[in-house]
C-alpha cells in the first residue's frame, strides 16, 4: 500500500540534509542544487501520490497510522516514531511539500552567487523534513521535535549571512521569543502527560474529552499553555515581535518559513488539538480575540512600512490573525483553507519581491522602486496576482474564497460573532490598502532605478505556478452566497475537523455578507489608488498633521512592542547579568578567605619576639582566668 | 575479579605511562590509550555477558560483586559491585578518558609521562568511586580521584592555576571530611544496633536513625555530593577550576568528576536516609531550580569561552539535582541520560575551547573577534552542534534527559517544573550568544586559523555520533539503567 511509504516523505529531505552536510566538500554547486532540490522533489512526488490515493480511495477510518519504531519507553510512557495521516495532516503535507519544492527550485538560481550555497540547501532540506515531521507526528513529543527543529532552521536561515551581526541578532531574537512559547508548550505537554499518561494525540484527545468537564481548570490551563506555544510560533500578540526582524533572512526563506509554512504551525497545532480547546471555552475565546486584535494591529503597521519585506511580514502576522480568528470561533476548516491559499499567494508575493530586490541590488524601500511594471512585466504581474488574492478581490482570487469563508462563519459564531466579523471586515479594508499601496508605489509610476535583471527560468516557473494557484486555489470552495455549493475542501477535511458554526439565518444574508466583504476589498484598492497613485500629495498631507504623524510613528514601529520589551525585559536582564558577571555568590567564599587571612595577619602581629609583651600577655591571661574562677 | 581489573588496568597504565615518559616518542599517550581501550573492552564485555534479561523485575539488580577482606578489624572490606547505573558511569568515564587523551595530544608538551599518570590515576579513582560499595573504600577512592586532578590543574593549567586548584581542593576536601564524619557515625550507630562494625553499603542500608541524627548524617553526605555536583551556592570553585584546567582536565572534570556527585546522590542519599531525604526534598528542589536559572544567567554574562561553558554545567547539573530529588522512574531515568548527555556535550565544548585556545592563544570571546566560521567551518559547525545539544534541542541526547527529568519532576511539583522549564529559554539565550560571539561575524583581517584536523575530527565525530544516537535511540541506556534504578527505589521504600 502506498501509505506504507509515508515515512519516506520526511525522510527524503532528511537524507538530502545528511548528504549535503557530510559529502558537501566533494560536491559541485550543480550537484548541491540537484541533491537539495531533488530530495524535496521526490518527497513532493510521493506526497502527491499519497494525496491522490487518499482522495480516490480514502482509508476506511479516514486516517492511517505508520509506525517506524520506538523512541523511548520509560515506565508507562511510550513514545514512538509514528506518523498519522488524516485530511488535516494531508493538507499540511501537500502545502509543505508543494510550496517547499517551488521555493527550493527558485532558490537554486536565486542563491547562486551565495558563498554558503551548500549550507543554505542543507538547512532548507532539514527544514522541510522537520516541518513534515511536525505535521505528520502521531504523538506530541514527536510533534515537539519537529516544532523545535523548524525553529532551529528558522534561526539558522535568518542568520544565513552571518557576517552581519544584525542578521545574527534577528535570528537570536526569533529563536528566543519563540522559545518562550515553546517552553510553555512543553509544560503543557507535561501536564497532559501527567494527567492522561500518554502523549499519543488521538487517544489523549479521547481521554481528555471524557475525563475533563467543559471549562474545567486543568483543561483551561492546558489549553492556555498550548496556545502560548502557538502564539509564539505563529507570531501572534504578544509574541509577534520576532517576525518583522526575521526578514533579515534570504527572501526565499522568508517565503517558505516565515510566510507559507512554519509560522502556520500554531494554526495546525490548535486545529489538531481542537478537542482540548473546545473543553476550555475561555481559551478558545481568547484565540479568537487575539486573532482579531493581531490582524488589526498588524495591518495598521503594514500600512506604514517602506521596506517591501516588512510590509509582507506584517501582512503575514495579520493573515495568521485571520486564521486564529477562525480557529477561535470553531471554523477549523476555514482556517485551514485560508492557510492553504495564504501559503500560495504570500509565497508568490515574497518570491516576486525577491526578484525585484535582486534586480535593484538589494533595494528594499518601495519608495526607491517605482515603474517596475514596465521593466519587469512578468514579475509585476505575479506580484499583482498575489496582491489581489491577499486583498481578497472578489471572484478572481483565492483569498476571496478563503477569507470569505472565515468571515461568514465568524458572523455565525454565537456571542461575539458580529464584533469579530466587524474586525475582520475592517482588516479586509486595511489589507487591500496596504498591499495596493505597495503595488502602486513600487510597480507603477516613474522608474526610480534600473532593474538589472529579471527572473531566471527556475524562478519564473515557481512564480507562474504560485500565481496560478493564487487565482485558482479558491475554486474548490464556492460559497452558498454565490449560489455555488461547491464544497470540495470542507468536504475533504470534514473527516478530520468538525464543521464550523452553522448559519442561524437563511435567506439573503450570506449573499449580503459576501457583497459587503467584496465591496470593502474594492474600496480598499480604490483608497490606495487615490492616495498613492492618483494624488500622492494627499497622503503626504494626511501624514503631516502632528497627531497622524505620531500615530504613524507608533504604527510604523509595530505599536511600540519592541520598545517596551527592550526596556521591560532585555535591558534589565542584560544589566543584571552584567552586574553579576563575577558571580556574587563567590563573594561569600572569597569573604571567608579574606576574613581568615585578616585574622592570620592580626595574630601573626602578636608574634613580636619581645619577652616583655609575652610576659604581659601571660599576666593578663592569668588574671582573667583567676577572675573567672573567683567570681561566682 | 573483573571489577578489580577495571580499576587496576588504568592504575597500571598510569604507572607505565609515567615510566614511559622518559623515552622519546608518544609512548605515554599510546600506553594511556591502550590501557583505556582495554578497560573499555572489559566494561563492554560486562554489558555483553549480562544481557538485559536481568532487567526482569524481582531479580537482584547487581550484575557482579567482589568481596575481599581489607581491614577486618574495623569491618572494612574491598567490596566492589556493579549494576546498570555504575556500569553506565564507568563506560562514560572510559569514553571520556579516551577522548581526553586524544584531545591533549598536541596541547600537552611538558612532562607528558606524569600528565598521563595523573589522568589515568584520576580515572582509576573515579571508576573506584562508581564501583565501591564499602563506604570506607568509597571515601578512599573519593580522595584518590581528587589529588591527581589537583596536579592536572596545578601543573598544566592556565594563568590563574594556583588559585583555582587550591580553591578546588579546599572545597572538595572540606566537604569530603563532612562525609567521612557521617560515614563513621553511621557505621557506629549501626554497630550499636546490630553489634557488628561494618562499612558495607548492604549492611548499613536500613539502619534506623532518630530523625534529627538522620538529617544531620544525611547533610554530611549531601554536602560532599552537592559541592561536587555542584549545587548553587557551593558552585564557585567550578568556573575557576574549569577556566584554568587544561582541556583534558576540563573534560574529565565536567564529564566525570561532577558525575561522582550525582552518583553519590543517587546511590546513598535517599536509600540510606529515606525519611530525612523526603523531608529535605522541597529545599533541594528549590535550590535545583535556582541553579538551573542562575547558572544559565551567569553563563550569559561571561566573556571567557571556558568560563561560560562552566556555568552552563551548573545549570545542567540543576536538572540532575531536580531529577534525583523528584525520585521517580521518569526523573531518575532522565538523570542518567542527562549525566551522559552533559558529559558528552560539555566535554566537546571544552575540547572546542581548547582547540580555539591552541590556535588563537585566547579564551576571551571578544578577542576571538568572531567570524571563525569563514576560516574554520568544520570547527564552527561542530561548535554549533554542541551548543544546540546544550540548549536541549530535541533529537539530541540532552533533550531526552531534560524532558524525562521535567516529566518526573512534574509529578512531584508542577510549579517547580514550570519554573525549571524557563531554563530552556535561558539556555537558548546563552548558547546562541556563544555561537554568535565565537563563530559568527566578520573575521579580523589577516587572521589565519587551521580547521580541525583528522584527529580532532575523529574525536568530535564520535561524540556527535553518540549524542545523536542517544537522542533518537536512548532505549539501550534506559534498559541498562532500569533494574538498578528500580532497585534503588525499592530500597527507599523499605
CB A213 within 8 A of CB B465: no
Q: What is the pLDDT of residues B81-112, one digit of tens each?
A: 888 899 999 999 999 999 999 988 888 888 88
Give the mean model confidence (pLDDT) for residues B299-325.
Answer: 93
Interface contact B394-A165, CB threshold 8 A:
no
- List CB contacts (< 8 A) between A583 and chain B: 236, 239, 298
Residue A383 pLDDT more than 50?
yes
**What local confidence, expressed as pLDDT, does residue A499 receive?**
83
**Strand blocks (E) in A274-389:** none
**What local confidence, expressed as pLDDT, does residue A486 receive?**
75
Helix then strand then coil, % of chain B, to nearest 5: 80, 5, 15
For the purposes of burial, counting CB atoms within 10 Å of the CB of A206, is it exposed (0-12), middle (13-18) or buried (19 or more)?
middle
% chain A with pLDDT above 90: 58
The DSSP bridge partners found for residue B76 are B71
User: The complex's ipTM?
Assistant: 0.93
- A426, A429, A434, A435: CA torsion to nearest 10: 130
**What local confidence, expressed as pLDDT, does residue B203 receive?**
87
Among B45, B460, B172, smallest CA distance to B164 is for B172
- List CB contacts (< 8 A) between A144 and chain B: 394
Residue A503 pLDDT more than 70?
no
Q: What is the pLDDT of residues A167-191, one digit of tens each?
A: 999 999 999 999 999 999 999 999 9
For the purposes of burial, counting CB atoms within 10 Å of the CB of A391, is it exposed (0-12), middle (13-18) or buried (19 or more)?
buried
Residue of B nearest to A586 (CA): B236
Distance CA A138, CA A149 (A): 17
Q: Say yes or no: B424 contacts chain A, CB-CB below 8 A.
A: yes
**What local confidence, expressed as pLDDT, does residue A180 receive?**
94
The DSSP bridge partners found for residue A69 are A81
Distance CA B380, CA B376 (A): 6
pLDDT confidence tier of residue A484, bands split at 50, 70 and 90: low
CB B233 within 8 A of CB B70: no
Q: What is the pLDDT of residues A310-342, one digit of tens each?
A: 999 999 999 999 999 999 998 899 999 999 999
Interface contact A149-B394, CB threshold 8 A:
yes
Give the mean model confidence (pLDDT) for residues B430-441.
Answer: 90
Q: What is the pLDDT of residues A213-243, one digit of tens each?
A: 888 999 999 999 999 999 999 999 899 999 9
Residue of B nearest to A166 (CA): B441
- List CB contacts (< 8 A) between B406 and chain A: 186, 190
Residue B58 pLDDT more than 70?
no
Q: What is the pLDDT of residues A82-129, one digit of tens each?
A: 999 999 999 999 999 999 999 999 999 998 888 888 999 999 999 999
Residue of B232, B432, B470 to mutate, testing the A interface (most A Cβ within 10 Å of its Cβ): B432
- In chain B, domain spans: 2-493
Residue of B301, B329, B430 to mutate, testing the A interface (most A Cβ within 10 Å of its Cβ): B301
What is the pLDDT of chain B when averaged over all its residues?
89
**What local confidence, expressed as pLDDT, does residue B56 receive?**
44
Helix then strand then coil, % of chain A, to nearest 5: 75, 5, 20
Q: Say yes or no: A165 contacts chain B, CB-CB below 8 A.
A: yes
Residue A203 pLDDT more than 60?
yes
Q: What is the pLDDT of residues B313-333, one digit of tens each?
A: 999 999 999 999 999 999 999
3-class DSSP state of A493: helix
% chain A with pLDDT above 70: 98
Residue A494 pLDDT more than 90?
no
Q: What is the pLDDT of residues B191-213, one digit of tens each?
A: 998 888 889 888 888 788 888 88
Q: Which residues of A222-254 are buried (b: 16+ CB within 10 A; e: fewer)?
A: bbbbbbbbbbbbbbbbebbbbbbbbbbbbbbbb
Of A74, A145, A165, the CB nearest to B404: A74
Q: What is the pLDDT of residues B350-394, one digit of tens each?
A: 999 998 888 888 888 877 767 788 888 899 999 999 999 999 999
**What local confidence, expressed as pLDDT, does residue A481 receive?**
66
**What local confidence, expressed as pLDDT, does residue B442 receive?**
82
Distance between first and last Cα of chain B? 31
Residues contacting A522, CB < 8 A, separation 6+: A393, A394, A432
Among B409, B232, B237, smallest CA distance to B335 is for B409
Q: What is the pLDDT of residues B444-485, one digit of tens each?
A: 777 778 888 888 899 999 999 999 999 999 998 998 888 888
- List CB contacts (< 8 A) between B235 and chain A: 585
What predicted TM-score, i.e. pTM, was given to this entire model? 0.93
**What local confidence, expressed as pLDDT, does residue A254 receive?**
93
Residue of B nearest to A194 (CA): B411
Q: How far is residue A435 from each of residues A225, A312, B91, measured CA to CA in Å?
A: 34, 8, 62
Total number of residues shown for chain B: 494
Nearest chain A Cα distance for residue B70, angstroms: 39
Half-sphere CA count of B211, side-chain side, radius 13 A: 4
Distance CA B302, CA A504 (A): 63
Phi, psi of B416 (to 5 degrees): -60, -40
CB A437 within 8 A of CB A377: no
Residues A218, A219, A220: CA angle, nearest 5 degrees: 90
Residues 549-578 of A with CB under 8 A from B: 573, 576-578
Nearest chain A Cα distance for residue B113, angstroms: 35
For A243-292, the three-class secondary structure string (H helix, E strand, C coil) is HHHHHHCCHHHHHHHHHHCHHHHHHHHHHHCHHHHHCCHHHHHHHHHHHH
Residue of A23, A123, A151, A190 to mutate, testing the B interface (most B Cβ within 10 Å of its Cβ): A190
Give the mean model confidence (pLDDT) for residues A596-607.
Answer: 89
What is the DSSP track for B48-85?
Answer: HHS-GGGGSTTS-SEEEEEEEEEEGGGTEEEEEEEEHH
- List CB contacts (< 8 A) between B473 and chain A: 71
Q: Say yes or no: B52 contacts chain A, CB-CB below 8 A.
A: no
Interface contact B395-A149, CB threshold 8 A:
yes
Q: Say yes or no: B400 contacts chain A, CB-CB below 8 A.
A: yes
**What local confidence, expressed as pLDDT, does residue B57 receive?**
45
**What local confidence, expressed as pLDDT, does residue B54 receive?**
46
Among B214, B242, B223, B130, smallest CA distance to B176 is for B223
Pick from A286-295, B473-482, B485-494: least confident: B485-494
CB A471 within 8 A of CB A430: no
What is the pLDDT of chain A when averaged over all its residues?
90
Distance CA A386, CA A348 (A): 6
Nearest chain A Cα distance for residue B11, angstroms: 35
Amino acid at each position: 500500500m502506498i501509505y506504507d511509504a509515508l515515512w519516506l516523505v520526511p525522510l527524503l529531505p532528511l537524507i538530502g540534509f545528511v548528504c549535503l552536510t557530510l559529502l558537501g566538500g566533494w560536491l559541485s554547486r550543480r550537484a548541491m542544487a540537484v541533491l537539495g532540490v531533488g530530495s524535496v522533489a521526490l518527497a513532493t512526488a510521493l506526497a502527491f501520490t499519497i494525496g491522490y490515493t487518499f482522495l480516490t480511495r480514502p482509508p476506511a477510518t479516514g486516517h492511517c497510522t505508520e509506525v517506524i519504531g520506538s523512541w523511548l519507553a520509560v515506565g508507562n510512557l511510550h513514545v514512538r516514531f509514528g506518523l498519522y495521516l488524516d485530511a488535516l495532516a494531508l493538507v499540511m503535507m501537500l502545502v509543505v511539500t508543494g510550496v517547499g519544492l517551488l521555493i527550493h527550485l527558485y532558490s537554486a538560481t536565486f542563491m547562486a552567487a551565495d558563498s554558503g550555497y551548500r549550507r543554505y540547501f542543507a538547512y532548507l532540506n532539514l527544514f522541510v523534513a522537520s516541518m513534515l515531521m511536525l505535521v505528520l507526528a502521531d504523538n506530541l513529543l514527536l510533534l515537539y521535535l519537529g516544532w523545535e527543529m523548524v525553529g532551529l532552521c528558522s534561526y539558522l536561515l535568518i542568520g544565513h549571512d552571518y557576517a552581519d551581526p544584525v542578521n545574527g541578532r534577528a535570528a537570536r531574537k526569533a529563536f528566543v521569543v519563540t522559545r518562550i512559547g515553546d517552553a510553555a508548550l512543553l509544560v503543557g505537554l507535561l501536564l497532559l502527560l501527567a494527567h492522561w499518561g500518554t502523549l499519543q494525540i488521538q487517544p489523549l484527545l479521547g481521554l481528555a474529552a471524557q475525563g475533563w468537564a467543559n471549562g474545567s481548570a486543568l483543561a483551561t490551563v492546558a489549553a492556555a499553555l498550548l496556545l502560548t506555544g502557538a502564539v509564539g510560533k505563529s507570531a501572534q500578540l504578544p509574541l509577534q515581535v520576532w517576525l518583522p526582524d526575521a526578514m533579515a533572512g534570504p527572501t526565499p526563506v522568508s517565503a517558505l518559513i516565515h510566510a507559507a509554512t512554519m509560522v502556520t504551525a500554531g494554526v495546525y497545532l490548535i486545529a489538531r488539538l481542537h478537542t482540548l480547546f473546545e473543553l476550555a471555552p475561555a481559551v478558545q475565546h481568547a484565540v479568537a480575540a487575539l486573532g482579531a486584535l493581531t490582524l488589526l494591529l498588524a495591518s495598521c503597521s503594514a500600512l506604514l512600512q517602506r521596506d517591501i519585506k516588512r510590509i509582507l511580514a506584517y501582512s503575514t502576522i495579520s493573515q495568521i490573525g485571520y486564521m486564529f480568528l477562525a480557529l477561535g470561533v470553531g471554523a477549523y476548516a476555514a482556517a485551514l483553507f485560508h492557510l492553504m491559499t495564504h501559503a500560495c499567494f504570500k509565497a508568490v508575493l515574497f518570491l516576486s519581491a525577491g526578484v525585484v530586490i535582486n534586480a535593484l541590488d538589494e533595494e528594499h524601500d518601495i519608495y526607491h522602486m517605482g515603474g517596475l511594471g514596465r521593466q519587469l512585466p512578468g514579475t509585476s504581474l505575479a506580484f499583482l496576482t498575489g496582491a489581489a488574492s491577499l486583498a481578497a478581490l472578489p471572484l478572481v482570487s483565492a483569498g476571496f474564497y478563503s477569507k470569505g469563508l472565515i468571515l461568514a462563519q465568524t458572523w455565525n459564531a454565537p456571542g461575539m460573532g458580529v464584533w469579530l466579523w466587524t474586525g475582520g471586515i475592517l482588516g479586509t479594508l486595511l489589507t487591500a490598502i496596504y498591499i495596493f499601496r505597495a503595488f502602486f508605489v513600487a510597480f507603477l509610476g516613474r522608474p526610480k532605478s534600473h532593474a538589472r535583471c529579471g527572473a531566471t527560468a527556475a524562478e519564473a516557473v515557481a512564480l507562474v505556478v504560485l500565481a496560478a494557484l493564487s487565482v485558482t486555489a479558491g475554486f474548490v470552495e464556492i460559497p452558498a452566497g454565490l449560489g455555488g455549493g461547491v464544497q470540495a475542501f470542507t468536504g475533504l477535511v470534514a473527516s478530520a475537523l468538525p464543521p464550523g458554526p452553522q448559519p442561524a439565518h437563511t435567506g439573503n444574508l450570506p449573499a449580503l455578507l459576501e457583497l459587503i466583504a467584496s465591496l470593502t476589498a474594492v474600496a480598499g484598492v480604490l483608497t490606495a489608488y487615490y492616495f498613492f497613485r492618483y494624488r500622492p500629495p494627499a497622503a503626504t498631507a494626511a501624514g503631516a498633521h502632528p497627531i497622524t504623524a505620531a500615530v504613524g510613528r507608533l504604527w510604523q514601529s509595530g505599536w511600540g512592542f519592541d520598545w517596551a520589551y527592550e526596556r521591560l525585559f532585555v535591558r534589565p536582564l542584560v544589566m543584571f547579568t552584567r552586574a553579576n558577571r563575577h558571580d556574587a555568590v563567590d563573594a561569600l567564599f572569597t569573604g571567608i578567605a579574606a576574613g581568615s587571612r585578616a585574622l592570620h595577619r592580626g595574630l601573626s602581629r602578636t608574634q613580636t619576639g619581645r619577652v616583655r609583651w609575652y610576659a604581659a600577655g601571660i599576666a593578663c591571661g592569668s588574671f582573667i582566668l583567676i577572675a573567672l574562677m573567683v567570681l561566682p | 575479579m573483573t571489577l578489580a581489573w577495571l580499576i587496576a588496568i588504568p592504575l597500571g597504565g598510569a604507572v607505565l605511562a609515567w615510566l614511559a615518559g622518559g623515552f622519546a616518542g608518544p609512548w605515554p599517550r599510546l600506553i594511556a590509550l591502550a590501557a583505556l581501550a582495554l578497560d573499555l573492552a572489559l566494561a563492554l564485555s560486562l554489558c555483553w555477558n549480562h544481557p538485559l534479561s536481568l532487567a526482569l523485575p524481582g531479580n537482584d539488580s547487581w550484575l557482579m560483586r567482589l568481596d575481599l577482606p581489607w581491614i577486618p578489624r574495623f569491618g572494612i572490606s574491598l567490596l566492589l559491585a556493579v549494576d546498570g547505573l555504575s556500569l553506565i558511569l564507568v563506560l562514560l568515564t572510559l569514553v571520556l578518558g579516551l577522548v581526553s587523551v586524544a584531545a591533549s595530544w598536541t596541547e600537552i608538551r611538558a612532562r607528558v609521562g606524569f600528565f598521563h599518570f595523573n589522568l589515568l590515576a584520576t580515572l582509576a579513582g573515579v571508576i573506584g568511586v562508581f564501583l565501591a560499595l564499602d563506604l570506607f573504600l568509597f571515601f578512599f577512592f573519593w580522595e584518590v580521584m581528587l589529588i591527581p586532578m589537583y596536579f592536572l590543574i596545578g601543573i598544566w593549567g592556565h594563568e590563574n592555576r594556583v588559585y583555582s586548584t587550591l580553591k578546588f581542593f579546599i572545597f572538595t576536601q572540606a566537604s569530603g571530611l563532612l562525609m567521612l564524619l557521617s560515614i563513621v557515625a553511621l557505621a557506629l550507630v549501626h554497630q550499636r544496633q546490630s553489634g557488628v562494625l561494618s562499612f558495607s553499603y548492604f549492611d548499613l542500608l536500613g539502619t534506623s536513625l532518630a530523625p534529627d541524627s538522620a538529617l544531620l548524617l544525611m547533610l554530611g553526605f549531601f554536602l560532599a555530593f552537592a559541592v561536587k555536583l555542584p549545587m548553587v551556592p557551593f558552585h564557585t570553585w567550578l568556573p575557576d577550576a574549569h577556566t584554568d584546567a587544561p582541556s583534558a582536565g576540563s573534560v574529565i572534570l565536567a564529564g566525570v568528576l561532577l558525575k561522582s556527585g550525582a552518583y553519590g546522590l543517587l546511590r546513598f542519599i535517599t536509600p540510606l536516609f529515606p525519611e530525612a531525604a523526603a523531608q529535605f526534598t522541597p529545599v533541594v528542589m528549590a535550590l535545583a531550580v535556582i541553579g538551573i536559572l542562575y547558572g544559565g544567567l551567569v553563563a550569559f554574562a561571561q566573556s571567557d569561552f571556558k568560563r561560560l561553558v562552566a556555568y552552563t554545567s551548573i545549570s545542567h547539573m540543576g536538572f540532575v539535582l531536580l531529577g534525583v530529588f523528584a525520585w521517580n522512574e521518569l526523573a531518575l531515568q532522565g538523570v542518567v541520560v542527562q549525566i551522559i548527555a552533559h558529559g558528552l556535550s560539555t566535554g566537546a565544548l571544552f575540547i572546542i575551547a581548547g582547540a580555539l585556545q591552541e590556535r588563537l592563544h585566547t579564551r576571551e570571546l571578544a578577542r576571538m573577534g568572531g567570524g571563525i566560521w569563514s576560516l574554520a567551518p568544520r570547527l564552527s559547525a561542530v561548535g554549533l552542534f554542541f551548543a544546540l545539544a546544550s540548549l536541549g534541542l530535541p533529537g539530541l541526547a540532552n533533550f531526552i534527559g531534560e524532558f524525562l527529568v521535567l516529566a518526573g519532576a512534574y509529578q512531584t511539583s508542577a510549579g517547580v517544573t514550570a519554573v525549571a522549564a524557563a531554563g530552556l529559554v535561558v539556555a537558548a539565550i546563552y548558547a546562541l550568544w556563544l555561537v554568535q560571539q565565537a563563530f559568527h561575524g566578520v573575521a579580523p583581517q589577516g587572521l589565519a586559523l587551521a580547521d580541525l584536523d583528522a584527529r580532532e575530527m575523529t574525536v568530535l565525530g564520535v561524540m556527535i555520533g553518540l549524542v545523536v544516537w542517544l537522542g533518537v535511540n536512548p532505549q539501550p541506556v534506559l534498559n541498562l539503567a532500569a533494574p538498578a534504578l528500580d532497585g534503588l527505589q525499592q530500597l527507599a521504600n523499605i
